Structures are given as structure tokens and as C-alpha cells.
Amino acid sequence: MTNSLGKIFTVTVFGESHGRCVGAVVDGCPAGLSLAEADIQPELDQRRAVDSAASTPRLEEDRVEILSGVFNGITTGAPLTMVVWNKNVSSADYDKNRFLPRPGHADYTAFVKYGGFNDYRGGGMFSGRLTAAFVMAGAVAKKLLGQLGIEVLAHTVEIGGISAKSLDYNEIKKNAGQNPLKCSDIDAAANMMRLIEQVKKEGDSVGGMIEGVALNVPAGLGEPLFDTLDGELAKALLAIPAVKGVEFGNGFAAARRRGSENNDPFTVKAGRIVTTTNNAGGILGGISNGMPVVVRVAVKPTPSIAREQNTVDLQNMQDAPITVQGRHDTCIVPRAVPVVEAMMAVTICDFARRAGLISGVIK
Amino acid sequence: MTNSLGKIFTVTVFGESHGRCVGAVVDGCPAGLSLAEADIQPELDQRRAVDSAASTPRLEEDRVEILSGVFNGITTGAPLTMVVWNKNVSSADYDKNRFLPRPGHADYTAFVKYGGFNDYRGGGMFSGRLTAAFVMAGAVAKKLLGQLGIEVLAHTVEIGGISAKSLDYNEIKKNAGQNPLKCSDIDAAANMMRLIEQVKKEGDSVGGMIEGVALNVPAGLGEPLFDTLDGELAKALLAIPAVKGVEFGNGFAAARRRGSENNDPFTVKAGRIVTTTNNAGGILGGISNGMPVVVRVAVKPTPSIAREQNTVDLQNMQDAPITVQGRHDTCIVPRAVPVVEAMMAVTICDFARRAGLISGVIK
Amino acid sequence: MTNSLGKIFTVTVFGESHGRCVGAVVDGCPAGLSLAEADIQPELDQRRAVDSAASTPRLEEDRVEILSGVFNGITTGAPLTMVVWNKNVSSADYDKNRFLPRPGHADYTAFVKYGGFNDYRGGGMFSGRLTAAFVMAGAVAKKLLGQLGIEVLAHTVEIGGISAKSLDYNEIKKNAGQNPLKCSDIDAAANMMRLIEQVKKEGDSVGGMIEGVALNVPAGLGEPLFDTLDGELAKALLAIPAVKGVEFGNGFAAARRRGSENNDPFTVKAGRIVTTTNNAGGILGGISNGMPVVVRVAVKPTPSIAREQNTVDLQNMQDAPITVQGRHDTCIVPRAVPVVEAMMAVTICDFARRAGLISGVIK
Amino acid sequence: MTNSLGKIFTVTVFGESHGRCVGAVVDGCPAGLSLAEADIQPELDQRRAVDSAASTPRLEEDRVEILSGVFNGITTGAPLTMVVWNKNVSSADYDKNRFLPRPGHADYTAFVKYGGFNDYRGGGMFSGRLTAAFVMAGAVAKKLLGQLGIEVLAHTVEIGGISAKSLDYNEIKKNAGQNPLKCSDIDAAANMMRLIEQVKKEGDSVGGMIEGVALNVPAGLGEPLFDTLDGELAKALLAIPAVKGVEFGNGFAAARRRGSENNDPFTVKAGRIVTTTNNAGGILGGISNGMPVVVRVAVKPTPSIAREQNTVDLQNMQDAPITVQGRHDTCIVPRAVPVVEAMMAVTICDFARRAGLISGVIK
């Protein structure tokens, strides 16, 4: 299945930007988990457009609705289905540009792959709106991981070349939620916001970087040689529209270091084996080593910009200009932050299921 | 299956560094492909240690042997099994350090995951030696892709911070094979080699970056939302030991660009839709767009270094020094180049199978 | 995923008997198929209770609703989601017997597997009602197969020991739809109906046998050694509640024949290779041979009967009597007939996708 | 993967009848299991031809060889590879009949599916010889299940219409191994043997039925709605060449019973919930209920018979006679008995892995 992720804790996603709904079926969620819409809604709210230049002014009041898998407020072990219903969808803009693929979007590739039958309105199934389904599934995964003490958090570490300074995880947790850019360095966040406002005026967009961290992941998660923890995280994160790169620990910086600098020495601390540094980002040989799992993703600038761009008219195979209508996020990085959390949570939850740390019934 | 990759063209890998053999079963290879050991051996030879400071002086004369799936020199459609038999394996070094996990290696995580029953000799199944299996499978995939005109090539673009200059694909093809570092910029290669020799004297190691390119991939390959072309490539590439990051097209650099710079405008050229730039690395919405598929991976410095390092004695849970014995690659980047090609070929071949471009029988 | 069936044309089922809905997500449905609720509704109507002693008097007016994957009346290649909403559900009966597992039902095994958290109302996810989801997916598969000229039909061949006489496929098609028991032998059907009425009066139930036939299946479908056509059909058919056995062609009767009787001789007929008999039921070595695919399933008598039965009180682990309340089918065989068709269609459609006979886009 | 079975405990099979070898890769075998060739060889010997009319006089001294996954006599958690090397293979017979598909065999369907590139010698990958790989994997599964107290046993219950009388499991265990037909009813076995000898003289063959029983399977194994215990068992058993039907518990006989007869009443016995009868064959709703899992398979008569048969010459598309050369089993039922055990063991072992009863490391 191409729209499913995970082997035991499996998420199947459906829906379109301008269709009836967006939804997720979670198969393999253990029975016995207390779960209500109220557990999921706050996560959904995190990915909602915020009232600022950073994000789209469209109002999407996504209300999650659980369709199956919960009985008397507790998961039953049956497939768990959640949807948000679409509203406020004006498709007229899209009909006009139906045969003009927007640069940087999936319009052209979807057209080719699905023979022109794809729902082109707002990107259809390729819309960032589908990440609402990721987030709903992620909310369930986060709740399950919480029972193991595993915590997943993501935050903005760079926007338009402005970097946040490094902070410890407690500060990140405290600060990141307090500003609309989900950046834990408050000063950098202010600069980022100024940049975004300026770029917006220019009819342009900016990208950035998000760091995801999973704390208290026990050593031993991951299934080599191919179903590695890093491999599956990368695959899940690259499903987020606009993500173009993924690195673990030092990542690309490791390529410029010496082995003597980059190796993380082991030591015993409080009776537990740890490494004194975490250049590996918590993963060795595709398996968690007990240190924080650290991943960073590169988010490209929003492809929808206000300026006229060059494209092709697919009907007559000629060059044609396009001006993308509608209101779009100047920078989608902050809205992608909860999605990064969700994809990490879903992936780690699947590995915890595979390792038997989470079994079929919550006791 | 955790040691299998691909959905229709599926590669299952087995073996250990110091066991009997290393092998691969390819399930889903079409019937009717002319195939002999001679098609695979040259690829295997590419990953062999070269006579230079860059690589390990161990002699491994890996001779591929086809055990099943070929009859009268043609694939039958049955599972295709290939092995290389191990020889020249001295395990004594490893026994001594059995309970001293080497920093930067999978020793500790394998110990935890497999309860200490893992074959610790030379990293066992986590050894870089397993990439021989990747390369054998990749050789088959490359031959299949060749029938579609798809070509996969990889080359070293950076070692120890020294970057190769950008060259066109014809020059890359011509040059990369001509120096032991598989770097197409001959001058940079000379500098890299000097650096490697110096680092070797220091008892240290260096990492680098490899770029992989797939040419003539038709638009439409990739299975969103989750089995994306980029997601599956990333997963496959992260199975190569020492790879810590993967980026597509501009990758992390895209995070610092404006949308107006980063979007690739479409245009019609010779009756075909192309983009005038290839910042996307040939992938939009997880689907190939007909431009070259471009991926770069970060290779960390070889974790085995000659210097004493700090680790932990797993038997008595105390800090302990370790000096990794044996002869190791100062820089494994060049040996990983054919492996990058192999993983790209295997992944793209699977998508070509899924899309029906390669069917069950070669006509 | 445990609630999914198929590898490329994949059906994921969700919902419960007394929950909000029952639904199916079809992943891998090609783009370009004309599809509306009106294509699916008639199939759903086939499994509806009929106005006779044979079936339950409950009224279920299941109206299919397409939630995703169709745009302008044509499939888009995105996941296709269909639901029927539940109504007319009275749960009170079930609450009373919550801890008294009904003999012959999944109540006890579900209780054990899901730690008592399963939705016990009407069997929850184990209810025969879930077959509405099978039928919706089957309707899509049948439409796709129709484009290849493949036709799937099922009919009742035995109820309570009364066998239908053998008829040719044209008569089966013509007759089976004309009586509520879906039996093509009109005389036998009358006898079956009399038996059912008598058994109903006795507060008991009867089982029977259904034959499924797929016509015009080309030779070459099936993926040995394990994903065989017969193996996958059997797995799919055993997902239908009450099915306890599956046989192909002569099936169990073949066990009593000589090889000289049972082998189907090949011959050339109108330039095409056929067999002069079809003892193999159209399958050799797990692969279709071009003859009709013939399968028969054994349907056990409805476990819900009006008589008091012996069971156990799960709360105090003591023997206890149970009288199953509600109105139930005396014989569910006729209602299972369209479900057999659906499961055959879904399975064959998946193989047609795997073989490339149905590609990702309908031309 | 089409040649793989199981989701967590996964068996991949390779090899051909007249190729180099037949082998299996077991992925997901837990680390820490004591395992040597001596654990596997006795199972292999069970499927060897016996010195009697019942079986083929060919001598196959299959010696298992472990190629990976075991270190110091203990499984490591890495893929476990086992092979038997082929010898005593004369292919000349097959070359002569290359284009004459044998009735009842997979020759024709393999020819169609693999475009004539299939290895036709002895059926290639479709040969019963491949069941040696099943049995090797089954031996590992049986050893793992033994640690849970689960025992799998199969025995011949019918040959050529001669039925064995019903015996209890202790007698079956004691008797079945003591005669070459693996039938626990000694008198019936003698009659069966006489029939086989007579049929052999007639140049014909006979089929039969095998019953498989799994004892001490705990309640709760099986993953509905589709990955059911019965569904997966049926799929695995239908991979055995010549199996044409599968039934559970009463199976097809249930179709002729009343609900009041067929339902198994629950009762408490020694503090444990059991059923007073086992018409369900230990499975309700696709999940084990704690009673013995009972399955019966129909084995068709050996398609290779000494008499001339009608077939088609694939080269010139004309009818042609064929006389199958070589020495073949008059009745393959006894040789299939250990294969039924193996397939049951592999399937149940996978479910035990999925349920967490067998984890990644044996303690």
C-alpha cells in the first residue's frame, strides 16, 4: 500500500484538499488506550494557520471526528479511523489553472502519473492539508509513547538562513510553544518574523530547518539492515511536502570531521551506558543507542508565491505564465513542526510495537 | 522482513563479515534477462579495497556465485540468489574486544538488540562487508534499468572538507572511474588523496560526501504519499553503514533560498516538458519529473581509527579503553560510491517494476 | 496491516456492527475509472437481508457514500474511501450478555485477544456486517475486472445437505439472481427454502456451500511460491465469517481419484490451449491456466440460534446458560454469496494489478 | 515478495529441482536459540523418499547446511540461511519433453507466466523438491514453538479413499511415525499400502488427506480481519504442491449440520475456559481459542503417472502425446506429512512473534 506507513502500527491516509475530508486509519493501535477527540484536537490545532505573516490567513477549523476503533472512550484494537471534514473550499481558482502546473508543486508529476485524472484542486492528495491526517495519527502515537516515557518534540532551528542558537531540551520545550514560529530562541524568532514579513511584501517565500528530538527512546529500537530507525524516519519525514533533506545527529557536518572527533565515546553514568557526546543522533547501525534521537529536516521555501512564474500549458504544450492565486504561507516551516513530531512519533511507535515494548493490549 | 528492500523487485540480504558468506536473494527479477557472474563481478570489483591510503589493505577477492534463478544464462523468474564466500578472516582480534563496543560502530546497539548473541566478529551482519550483497543486487538492477535507458552513476563530491568542482554528467562519467577516489575533479582528487595520507599517519579517519545521479528516469516513478521516490531512496541509502544524511536536489541549501529562486520553471524543449533548473533533484511530490534524479549522502568518517578511545566493558559495566586492531579504511567514501549506485538502482528498479515499465518477462 | 488485503490493489476495512459506520479504503485503484455510488449500491443491495425465512428481518438500508478518491465521477488514483453509516442499532441486548460469549462466535477470542476492550456489541468488528465493506471494495474490483472481460459469479450449491444440480455458467448466471437463496437450481432452491423454514421453527440454523467462479481469467495470474492464486483466494474467503473450508476444482474429491482421472489433458481449441476437463479449477502451481477459476467454500450454520446454549460467565469463570437475543439469519449462505464474489474479485484484481494487466491509469 | 511467507518470522525460499541447491532464508528468527544442522536434519529425513511403493525410489540424501545466522551454535538474530545442495540430477529426460507440458503440473502455467524462460527441468521452482526448504524453516519454527510448549503434528488420514479411524493425539503421535505412510491407524495403513502397490502396477497414482494438529496453542493468536489464523494457514498449506483444499475443524461437514450441533459450548475446566467439542478446529473469528488447531488438506493424486497422456506441443500448437519419464511417487501423501507440519509451524510461529509470545531474543 502506497498510502500506508508502518508495519505493525500502520497509518493509512486518505482524502484531498478540496474533497469531502482528510482522514487516517490506524491499524495496530493497541486495545485499552483511553482516547477521545480531545486528545487529538490540540495536536491538530498546532498545525493550524496562525495569525501572522508566517502563515496562511485561511481559516481552517479542523475538528477531528473518530469514526471507528474507540468504544466507551477506550481503543478496542479494531482499526481506528479519524477524519476532519473539509469546508471553506473554493475551487474556482484551481479550475482556471488546471492545465498550468505550478512550479515546485506536484501538479505536473501527478498529472503524468495519474493520466490527468488527479484531483488538481489545491494539489488534491498532495496538498499540505493531508498532513492533518499525519498529525491525527501522530497524536495517537504520542499518547502511546507517553506511556513508555518517550517524548517527541520538534522546533524551528532556521528560517531563511537565520539560525536559532542551541538550547537544552528543557528550554526548547518551554520556549518553542510560546511563539508562532515554534522557535525556541526568542531573539532569533523575532528576526525570522521580520524576515518573513519582508519576504511576504516581496511576493516571495522562505524555507528553513526543523529539528526533531525523541527523548527517552530505549536502546535497541530499529530493525536492520533495511528497516532501520534512521531509514524509516527519513522515509516518513520525506512524506511531508517541501522536505528535501534529512540528517541525523551531526549529519552533513560529520562528513567534514575526523573520526576521532565524530565517534561518541561510551561511558557508564548512573549505572547506565551513555555516550559523552551525541554526534550519532542516538542511532548506531540503524538501532537506537539510548541517547536522544536527533533529526533535522530541510524545508524548501513554499512553492506558491505571488509572483508570476514560467510554466507550460499541458493542453497545447506551450510555455505559459502562471500567477498562483489564493493566500499561501510565506513560510510553512512553523506549520510543519507538529507534522515532524507526528511522523517521528508514528515511526517510533511502530518500532516500539515491533520490539514488543508496546503490545496489543495496554494493561 | 527487516533484511529485505523493495516491494516487487525485492532484495533480501544475508551473511556476516566473518561467517561463511554474504549473499542476496532477488525476488521479482523478471524472467528473460541474460545474466552471468560476469555481469556482476565488475560491480563487486568497484567496491574492493584499492591499493592506496584511502582504503583498507586487506585483500578481498570476492567472486560472485549465482546459486539460483538463472538457467542457460537467462533469468527464469525464480528467486535469484548470489553469494560471495568469505575467506581471509581472522577473528582473533575481535574475540579479545568482544565486550568492548567500538565507538561509532553498531557493536553496542547490536549487543542490546540481540541480547549479546550477535556475531561480534567484524561487526557481524552490520559490517560494511554486507554491502557486497547490495552491490550484487544492484548489478542486476542496473542491467534491468539499462534496458530502459536509465543510467545510475555516483561519484565522490567531498572528502574531509575538500569539495570537487561541479562538472557535467559526461565528464563525471569519464573522470570518476579513473581515479581511486572516484572523484571526477582530478585536481580535487589529488588534494583529497594527500589529506587522506596525512590523516592516516595521524591514526585518524575522514568522511565525505557522495552524489548519486540517475539519468533518463521517466516522469511518473514514485508511489505517494509514503512510498515516495525520495523516501525510498533515503531509506535504501541510509542502510549503507556510515551514511548520516540524505538530501535531494538543492537539499539543505534550499532551506536558505527564496521560493522564486528555488522553484524550477517548466518549459517545453524538443516537444518534451522539462525544467530549466533542477533544484528539485528530479522529484516533485515524491514522483520523478523526468529530470535527473540527484541525491547526496553524508558519509561519516570511518569509526575504526588507530587511536585509543574510551568505551565501556559490558561485562563489568566499567569504563575501559579500546584500541581497534586490524587494518581499516582511512576513508571509506570511495568504496561506498558503487554502493550508492547499487542502492539507487535497486530502488528505481523496484519503482519501475511497480509502474509496469519493467514487467515480469523481458521481451 | 492486519485489516488490509492485497498487495497493489489493497483494501483496508474499518468499522463495527454498532459503531458509527463500516468502511473500506481501496489503495491502488487505478485512476481513470468511471465510478459513482450507483456502481456500488446494487452490490450492497445483494447482501441485504431478504424478506424470507432465510434471512434476518432487520432492515438495513445501507447507502454507500464515497468519501475520497473520486473527482468528477472518475477515480483519481488517490485512496478511494467508501462508507455506509450505521443506523437502527439497538445495543441493549448485547450489554446484558457482555460477559457471556456466544458459542460459535468470536466473542471469546476477541475478549482474550483485546483484553476485554473489544466492542462486544453485535460482535463489533467481527460482525458479518463488516462484509458490507468487502462488498463495496468488491464492486470496484468487479468493475475493473469487467474491463478485462473477467466475470466473477457465485451461487449457492448446497444448503442443509440439499445440493443444487450442476448447471452451465449461463444458466447459473440467469437463475441464481432470480431466487432469494441465490441458487441456480430452482427446484433445489424450493426444497432449501422449505428446510430453512422448518429449521427456523425449531429455533435452529443451517449451513451450506457456495461456489465461486471467475470466467475469462487469462493464464498466468498468481505469484508463486507463496502468493499463489489459490492461497490468496483461500485467505480472502476465510475472512468471511462462518467460512470453514475452501477447495479448488475437484478439491477434496480429488483426494479419492486416480491421477489418470484427475489430470486435465491439454488440447488446442480454436488456436488456444485449454484443458478438456477442469478438475484443477483453473489453477496449476498457484497460477491460473486460462480455464474458469472454480472455488467452493463451506459455510457453517449461523451460530446465533434461538435455543439456550451453554457458555461461561467471564466475570466469575463459571458455567452459565445463554439465550442469544435478536433476530438472526436462519441461514446466512445466500447473504454470503455476494461476499464470495467480492473477495474473489478483490483478489483477482490484485493479481491483475501485479501482473500489469491493470495498470495505474485506465486508458 | 512472492517467495516469502510470514510477517515477522519470514521465510524466503529459493532454488530449483535441478539447479545448484534449494534453500531458505529465515528472517526474524530470534537471537539466542541453540541451533545446529542436527536440529534440522531429522525433519528433512522425514520427507525423504522411503523404501516402498508409496514413494519415489530416487535417492536424495539431503544434508542441510547452515550458511548464516548462527554463531557458536546459537542464532544471532541475523538472517538464518539454510541450504541443501542438489546432486543425482539427470536432466536429459526433461529436455526431451521441454515443450510438452505435463498434465496436472505447473509446466504450462510457468511457461506462460515466465515467457518460456522458466527452468523446466523437473518443474524447476515448482518441484516438490522445494518443500525441502519449507521443512528446514519448519524445523526452526518447531524448535521455537517447543519453547512455548506448542506441538505440531500431522498424519495421513486417508489415501485413495481408505480412511484412518479416529484416534486420540497420543496414539497419533505414537503410531504415525512408525509406518512409512505416516498413518496412525495401523490396519488402515496396511490397506493403503496394498492399494498403492496395486495402483503402481497400473501405472497410476492416488491422492489422500492429511490432518495437521497444533496442540497447546494459547487463545488469542491470529490477526483479523484478514491476517487470520485460518487464512494464513490455508495460504501456507496451499503452497504445498498438490494440495487442492483446506478445511478447519468440521470443515465441509459443518455445512451439513445444524447450528445447535455445530456450536462448541464453552465450559470451565480446571480453571480454564475450554469448549466441550472442537467442531471449530480451535479457531473462532480467525483467532485461536485455546483448543487444538485442527486442519485437513486434500492432496490430489501425483500428476506424474506412467501412462501416456494427452497434451499440447507448445512449439507448434498441436495436440501431442506425452509419457512422463522417470521414477515418481505413486502417492506423495506420506512425504507431504512433514511439509504440512512445517507450514503449520512456520505460520503459528509468525503469529507467536506478532503476538509477542516469542520475542526478538530467547532468554
* Interface ipTM: 0.97
Contacts of C356 in chain B (CB under 8 A): 356, 359-360
C298-336 pLDDT tens trace:
999 999 999 999 999 999 999 999 999 877 899 999 999
Q: Is residue A57 predicted with pLDDT exceeding 80?
A: no
- Chain B adjacent subunits, 3+ CB pairs under 8 A: A, C, D
Cross-chain residue pair A356–D354, CB shorter than 8 Å: no
| Domain membership flag for residue C342 | yes
Q: Which of residues 116-175 of D touch B (CB under 8 A)?
A: 117-119, 121, 124-125
Option in A15, A68, A80 nearest C68 (CB): A15
D167-204 pLDDT tens trace:
999 999 888 888 899 999 999 999 999 999 999 999 99
Option in D8, D356, D360 nearest A359 (CB): D356
Option in A220, A225, A236 nearest B3 (CB): A225
Q: Is residue C36 predicted with pLDDT exceeding 60?
A: yes
| Domain membership flag for residue D191 | yes
Tell me the sheet residues that pair with B153.
Answer: B213
Q: What is the mean pLDDT of residues C6-15?
A: 98
Contacts of B234 in chain A (CB under 8 A): 231, 234-235, 238, 246
CB B182 within 8 A of CB B335: no
Contacts of C305 in chain D (CB under 8 A): 259-260, 263
Task: Determine the residue of chain B that is closest to A296 in CA distance.
Answer: B245
CA pair distance A167, A6, nearest whole angstrom: 32
Option in A249, A253, A311 nearest B266 (CB): A311
Option in B67, B117, B124 nearest D75 (CB): B117
**pLDDT value of residue D55:** 61
Cross-chain residue pair D77–B20, CB shorter than 8 Å: no
C275-288 pLDDT tens trace:
999 999 999 999 99
Cross-chain residue pair D125–B76, CB shorter than 8 Å: yes
Cross-chain residue pair B355–C360, CB shorter than 8 Å: yes
| Domain membership flag for residue D226 | yes
Q: Is residue D53 predicted with pLDDT exceeding 60?
A: no
**pLDDT value of residue B79:** 98
Cross-chain residue pair C81–A113, CB shorter than 8 Å: no
CB A68 within 8 A of CB A14: no
Q: Is the pTM higher than 0.80?
A: yes
CA pair distance B10, B27, nearest whole angstrom: 5
**pLDDT value of residue A88:** 63
| Domain membership flag for residue A361 | no
**pLDDT value of residue A176:** 83
| Domain membership flag for residue D337 | yes
pLDDT band at residue C228, thresholds of 50, 70 and 90? very high
Q: Is residue A52 predicted with pLDDT exceeding 80?
A: no
A207-248 pLDDT tens trace:
999 999 999 999 999 999 999 999 999 999 999 999 999 999
Tally of structural domains, chain C: 1
Q: Is D320 on the interface with C (CB under 8 A)?
A: no
Option in A8, A355, A359 nearest D360 (CB): A355
Contacts of C74 in chain A (CB under 8 A): 117
CB D26 within 8 A of CB D140: yes
Q: Is residue A53 predicted with pLDDT exceeding 70?
A: no
Option in A232, A248, A265 nearest B309 (CB): A265
Please indicate whether residue C49 or residue D133 has the higher confidence score (pLDDT). D133
**pLDDT value of residue B52:** 57
pLDDT band at residue A165, thresholds of 50, 70 and 90? very high
Q: Is D272 on the interface with B (CB under 8 A)?
A: no
Measure the CA dihedral B188/B194/B195/B196, to 10°.
110
**pLDDT value of residue C60:** 53
Q: Is residue C215 predicted with pLDDT exceeding 60?
A: yes
- Tell me the pLDDT of chain C averaged across its residues: 95
Burial class of residue A339 (count of CB atoms within 10 Å of its CB; 0-12, 13-18, 19+): buried
Q: What is the mean pLDDT of residues A272-288?
A: 98
**pLDDT value of residue B328:** 87
In terms of residue numbers, what domain contains A139?
8-354
Cis peptide bond prior to C225, omega within 30° of 0: yes
The three cell numbers locating residue D88 = 543425482
Q: Is residue D50 predicted with pLDDT exceeding 70?
A: no
Residue whose cell numbers read 565517534: A263
pLDDT band at residue A50, thresholds of 50, 70 and 90? low
Contacts of A81 in chain C (CB under 8 A): 14-15, 23
Q: How many CB pairs under 8 A join A and D?
A: 10
Q: Is A76 on the interface with D (CB under 8 A)?
A: no
| Domain membership flag for residue A362 | no
Contacts of D81 in chain B (CB under 8 A): 14-15, 23
Cross-chain residue pair B310–A257, CB shorter than 8 Å: no
CATH value at residue B192: 3.60.150.10
Option in B15, B81, B362 nearest D14 (CB): B81
Q: Is C307 on the interface with D (CB under 8 A)?
A: yes
Q: How far is C188 from chain D (nearest CA, A)?
A: 15
Q: Which of residues 325-354 of D touch A (CB under 8 A)?
A: 354
Q: How far is B32 from chain D (nearest CA, A)?
A: 6
DSSP classification of residue A193: H
Query: Mean pLDDT per segment of 10 residues, for chain B of length 363 residues?
Result: 96 97 98 98 87 55 95 98 86 83 98 97 96 98 98 98 95 88 96 97 97 98 98 98 98 98 98 98 98 98 97 97 89 97 98 97 92
Q: Is A270 on the interface with B (CB under 8 A)?
A: no
Contacts of C271 in chain D (CB under 8 A): 317
Task: Determine the residue of chain D that is closest to C351 in CA distance.
Answer: D2
pLDDT band at residue C19, thresholds of 50, 70 and 90? very high
**pLDDT value of residue D8:** 97
- The amino acid sitting at D42 is P
Measured at the CA of C204, the angle between CA C203 and CA C206, to 5 degrees, comes to 150
B145-185 pLDDT tens trace:
999 999 999 999 999 999 999 999 999 988 888 889 999 99
Cross-chain residue pair B354–C7, CB shorter than 8 Å: no
Option in A105, A219, A238 nearest B228 (CB): A238
A228: how many CB neighbours lie within 10 A of its CB?
22
Estimate the crossing angle of helix C333-354 against helix C131-146, to 10 degrees: 50
Please indicate whether residue A359 or residue C51 has the higher confidence score (pLDDT). A359
Q: Is residue D89 predicted with pLDDT exceeding 70?
A: no
**pLDDT value of residue A87:** 85
| Domain membership flag for residue D96 | yes
Q: Is residue D94 predicted with pLDDT exceeding 60?
A: yes
| Domain membership flag for residue B110 | yes
Task: Determine the residue of chain A that is closest to C126 in CA distance.
Answer: A78
Q: Is residue C54 predicted with pLDDT exceeding 80?
A: no
The three cell numbers locating residue A168 = 537544552
Q: Is A224 on the interface with D (CB under 8 A)?
A: no
Please indicate whether residue B199 or residue C50 has the higher confidence score (pLDDT). B199
A64-94 pLDDT tens trace:
999 999 999 999 999 999 999 998 666 677 7
Q: What percent of chain B has pLDDT over 70?
A: 95
Contacts of A271 in chain B (CB under 8 A): 317
Q: Is A299 on the interface with B (CB under 8 A)?
A: yes
Q: What percent of chain A has pLDDT over 90?
A: 89
Estimate the crossing angle of helix B229-238 against helix A229-238, to 10 degrees: 160
- Chain A adjacent subunits, 3+ CB pairs under 8 A: B, C, D
CB D154 within 8 A of CB D341: yes
Catalogue the long-range contacts made by A177-180 (C-beta closer than 8 Å, 24 or more residues apart).
A180/A50, A180/A51, A180/A52, A180/A54, A180/A55, A180/A334
Q: Which of residues 6-25 of C touch B (CB under 8 A)?
A: 7-8
Q: How far is A216 from chain C (nearest CA, A)?
A: 27
Contacts of B361 in chain D (CB under 8 A): 113-115, 117
Q: Give the least confident one: A172-181, B221-230, C54-63, C180-189.
A: C54-63
Q: What is the mean pLDDT of residues D219-238?
A: 98
CA pair distance C290, C287, nearest whole angstrom: 9
Contacts of A103 in chain B (CB under 8 A): 263-266, 275
Q: What is the mean pLDDT of residues C154-161?
A: 98
